[in-house]
Structure 1
Amino acid sequence: MRRVISGLLVLLMLIPLASCGGNTAPPADSGVTEEPEEPKAPEPYEILDPTVMPEGGVRDGITYAAYDGVVEHLFFHPVVAYPELAFDGDNQANGIDDYMVTVGEYNKILQSVYEKGYVLVDIGDVWSEIAGEDGQPRMVRNTLYLPEGKKPLILSFDDTNYYPYMLENGFAYKLILGDDGLIWSWGKDPQGNEVVSQDLDAIPILDKFVREHPEFSPFGAKGCLSLTGYEGILGYRTQTDTKSWTQAQEANRQKEREAVKPIIEELKRTGWTFGSHTWGHIRLGGSVSLAEIQADTERWADEVGTLVGPTTILFYPHGERPDGNDWQNTGPIFRYLQSQGFRVFCSVGIESFSYIKKDICAVICDRLHPDGTTLRGSDKVIGWYSQFYDARDIIDLEARPQREVRWTPKA
């Protein structure tokens, strides 16, 4: 199924940003009065269904073929824009080193997977819910029709909320719309200057990469944004604090909710989707009770779901599987989450594993994590994930803390 989404609604909601190339007024003595130019509408963006073979097996001169192999899945946390702030020796530095990549490393990873023949697919297109022979709903793995010789890749991005601790540790502050109607990041450099850019955050970087290499996303897919809610979303403070909440705080929250809506619409228009990371980033496999999980899920639906819409994707915080082991057990926590509409449950592992559960309509899967931990390698592996890149070509040892790497440098 093909859908072309107009930029008209986004145009009506644009927030002009002078720092993104706004118009310059003529000199006061020029005698010329110029009307400011209207912000440009973004180009229409086409999203296609990879489960449908193009008519005749060819689209735009490219031959398509059925693919039933492994669908790889990489995920990232927000990327480090300013390593000098992230790796400054404070109590956050080693954690950021373990779990994040820098902008430069992220760019190299994108270039490498592109060169190795991967193409982006939406996680929502990989599996479908159908009625089984017994009339009960179940999940099935879809056949994907890809450009011949290409391999599918899902991208997901955890914690795209722009938590306050990130703001002082070298990350972008929020997503905004530019005068061009596209997604940009806003933040501050180490000197405290405001910076609007498409080169300092994972989301606009991928948007830009796809504009420059459209064959990397033949169906228009980008990635799935995994959102908590306890510090708002996308850099906007849309959350509540149930302990104490004033009318002024609620008024500001509503203002933030309105401000983030055009960002969400533009992301959706251009191939981004959303998943839940729970409202409070809670440990589903830990000591949290079912009642607490129910309250958290309802709060996510109220504060986040009302903005981004319903989702069938749940990303486990900390990779912790509910009920101890979700692929051998289907316990009360898993059954509750499935009853709330989740169908694809994503953990973290060493390979892009997936399994369709037999006793309930759900899929569980693992995704891989390019970050400081895996880029530094292990005793048995020269860097991890060699199907995507050589870690020695990716890691920026000059920017990162001076910690051990467990592979031999290239000669």
Structure 2
Amino acid sequence: MPNYSNGRGGRRFHSRRRRHRALSLPLLLGALLLALVVVALAFFLRRPKRNGPAASASDAKQSVEETTVAKLTSEEILADAAKKAAQYDYDAAIAAIEADEKTAQSEAGQAAITKYNEIKGTLVRQDPQKITHVFFHTLIMDNKKAFDGDNRQNGYNDVMTTKPEFEKMMQAMYDKGYVLVRIHDVAYEVDDPETGGKKMVWGDIMLPPGKTAFVLSQDDVNYYEYMDGDGFAKDIIVGPNGKPLNEMVMDDGSISVGAYDLIPILDEFIEQHPDFSYRGAKGIIAVTGYNGVFGYRTDPSYEGKNPNIEADRQKVREVAQCLRDDGWELASHSWGHRNYGKIPFTELETDNQKWQDYVGELIGGTDILLFPFGADVGDWHPYKEDNERYRYLHNSGFRYFCNVDSNQYYVQKGNDYLRQGRRNLDGYRLWQDMTVKNHTSDLFNASDIFDSDRPTPVPDYKGG
């Protein structure tokens, strides 16, 4: 940093005669004033480009918009609008075109605006009470390792889905017109002027005729220690492209980075089929905490065992933010994978507090609870004020409560919550659909999906 204290130059200046100093003082002041004006002007002109904390959010947003509009060609603007329209955000597509006068007045721009307005007139509101919710556990990447006859095989065969099965399911659902939406699109909180608090209202999901909204979630995205060596990913990382990817241990012990679980596999599918996602929606990722989060051993029980625990906790924070930025939502699956409907109330309190302290703090919290084992804290009737488990969980910040239900859809909105049943798309479900009673014919043909590598019959392992 420059030293601005008086040095040799200062002493020379003060040794000059008074008359000479008096004659040069006006010139010096004028030069100094001019310099200050130039510096201030330069700072003012540069300021909108800065994204530092001193800039207001509106200034930063305006700067980004001005820079983007200034740099994009009409072709690029139209391509960006087309991508927004492909994901059913026609208002955003039109706004992107109209933000650039040249593009908006061009023949192509006018044609695109007309087209998007025409499509908007044909959209159909989805019935929020008829939106299905499907869920998965960690995907099996190596069938030979998962189905190797050891004491964990039955559990994997029951509650896990193989990579080929998941890919076939997504393709079949896409072909049938299914579109991923966020659970926050189904219903969301607004200010309630009558109470001064909040209330839950139904969302308005508008899709073209023939399209059907659905919600997707994945449980236990923790990569538990017991899964080591059984053909699953090792963890989630922030990839070189800023997107979530997995690490997986190969047969030779090396670590490979790629799409080794549901998150990056679905990301790649949506990249190829943008109309499979409503305004960038992905799925819900639910985690426990007793073995850490996202494959990192971050729980306090690992202190003294994991020498990199603080660095791993920071990685979890970064992965969580990466997931949110990528369109995913995060959820609690309890800390210890406990049955919240059966355990003593005091144990429920303890478990939830551990999740809040050891998991929620790392991933940024959530208002979504996916019940372990699908076990709700009430029956099918609406939650009531005298349900202490519900009231406690609501006071902990949860507003979305998801159990497991084999019906096509189960959606219940209270004044201050949303409940949704989830359908397990795993080995047991596929086997039952082929041999006993089909519960998934609205989604796909189970016989076309079932992985022939699975040992049969598939047992009911009662996982969750």
| TM-score bin, normalised by smaller chain | 0.7 to 0.9
CA deviation after TM superposition for structure 1 residue 404, in Å: 6.1
| CA contact 2:158–2:458 (8 Å) conserved in 1 | no
1:302 partner letter: D
2:324 partner letter: K
1:67 partner letter: R
CA deviation after TM superposition for structure 1 residue 357, in Å: 2.9
CA deviation after TM superposition for structure 1 residue 148, in Å: 3.7
376-385 vs 223-232, which deviates more?
376-385
For the pair 1:270 / 2:326, whether they are aligned, the reply is yes
Q: Please point out which of 365, 382, 388 is paired with 1:332.
A: 388
Instruction: Give structure 2 stretches of 5+ with no counterpart.
Output: 1-50, 53-79, 95-112, 460-464
1:355 partner letter: Q
Aligned twin of 1:101: 161
Q: Please point out which of 214, 230, 236 is paired with 2:290.
A: 230
2:250 partner letter: D
For the pair 1:240 / 2:300, whether they are aligned, the reply is yes
Q: How does 1:7-406 map to 2 (within 5 A)?
A: 54=91, 59=116, 62-63=119-120, 65-69=123-127, 70-131=130-191, 134-135=194-195, 137-198=198-259, 200-241=260-301, 248-249=304-305, 252-286=308-342, 288-323=343-378, 327=382, 331-351=387-407, 352-357=409-414, 361-378=416-433, 383-397=438-452, 399-403=453-457
Counterpart Cα distance in 1 of 2:134 and 2:208: 20
1:377 partner letter: Q
Query: SS at 1:181's partner residue?
Result: coil
Aligned twin of 1:37: none
The number of equivalent residue pairs is 354
Query: SS at 2:440's partner residue?
Result: coil
2:160 partner letter: M
Q: Alpha-carbon deviations, 1:133-158, whole Å to 9, x = none?
A: 74264322212112343111111000
CA deviation after TM superposition for structure 1 residue 380, in Å: 8.0
Counterpart Cα distance in 1 of 2:456 and 2:353: 43
Instruction: Give structure 1 stretches of 5+ with no counterpart.
Output: 1-7, 10-43, 406-411
| CA contact 1:383–1:392 (8 Å) conserved in 2 | no
Counterpart Cα distance in 2 of 1:194 and 1:61: 50
213-222 vs 256-265, which deviates more?
256-265
72-81 vs 315-324, which deviates more?
315-324
Q: Bigger radius of gyration, 1 or 2?
A: 2
Mark the CA change 1:277 to 1:303 in structure 2 (over 3 Å): closer, same or farther: same
TM-score by length of 2: 0.70
Q: Alpha-carbon deviations, 1:259-299, whole Å to 9, x = none?
A: 2222222211110110111111111111x222221222222
Mark the CA change 1:346 to 1:150 in structure 2 (over 3 Å): closer, same or farther: same
| CA contact 1:72–1:367 (8 Å) conserved in 2 | yes
Aligned twin of 1:41: none
| CA contact 2:141–2:163 (8 Å) conserved in 1 | yes
Counterpart Cα distance in 2 of 1:388 and 1:120: 13
Aligned twin of 1:21: none
Counterpart Cα distance in 1 of 2:155 and 2:179: 31
Mark the CA change 1:58 to 1:290 in structure 2 (over 3 Å): closer, same or farther: farther
Mark the CA change 1:230 to 1:62 in structure 2 (over 3 Å): closer, same or farther: farther
Which has a greater percent of helix? 2
Counterpart Cα distance in 2 of 1:94 and 1:254: 35
TM-score by length of 1: 0.78
CA deviation after TM superposition for structure 1 residue 378, in Å: 4.9
CA deviation after TM superposition for structure 1 residue 377, in Å: 2.2
Which has a greater percent of strand? 1
Query: SS at 1:376's partner residue?
Result: helix
1:197 partner letter: G
| CA contact 1:81–1:171 (8 Å) conserved in 2 | yes
273-282 vs 126-135, which deviates more?
126-135
321-330 vs 126-135, which deviates more?
321-330
CA deviation after TM superposition for structure 1 residue 180, in Å: 2.6
Mark the CA change 1:268 to 1:301 in structure 2 (over 3 Å): closer, same or farther: same
Q: Alpha-carbon deviations, 1:51-106, whole Å to 9, x = none?
A: 98736896498546242321111110010001111111111111111111100000
338-347 vs 133-142, which deviates more?
133-142
RMSD, aligned CA:
3.0
Mark the CA change 1:197 to 1:250 in structure 2 (over 3 Å): closer, same or farther: closer
| CA contact 1:47–1:271 (8 Å) conserved in 2 | no
Query: SS at 1:368's partner residue?
Result: strand
Mark the CA change 1:378 to 1:218 in structure 2 (over 3 Å): closer, same or farther: closer
